[in-house]
Amino acid sequence: EEPKGEKKDSKKIKKKSKKRSKSKKSKKTVEDTVAKGAASSQMREADIISPKDSLANEVTAMD
């Protein structure tokens, strides 16, 4: 009976870790999408207001 219980436990752990990595991946994708959307909308806004300012800000941020 011991090996049977061991097999069951390892299967349970495998399933758990798989689920965890999947949720982590989807969470990252959502965060990336939100960050990209915020960055693009911010850049667009800055470009409309003053393209020179947004360029200067980018150079300063890179430095």
Q: Domain count of the chain?
A: 1
pLDDT tens for the chain, residues 1 to 63:
555 555 555 555 555 555 555 556 666 777 777 777 766 666 666 565 555 666 666 666 665
12 found inside a domain: no
14 found inside a domain: no
Whole domain around residue 42: which residue ranges? Answer: 22-63
Element (H, E) at 49: helix 2-49
8 found inside a domain: no
Three-state secondary-structure class, residue 60:
helix
Question: Do 40 and 32 meet the contact criterion of CB atoms below 8 Å apart?
Answer: no
Question: Do 57 and 46 meet the contact criterion of CB atoms below 8 Å apart?
Answer: yes
For position 60, what pLDDT does the model report? Answer: 63
For position 57, what pLDDT does the model report? Answer: 66
Distance CA 55, CA 47 (A): 9
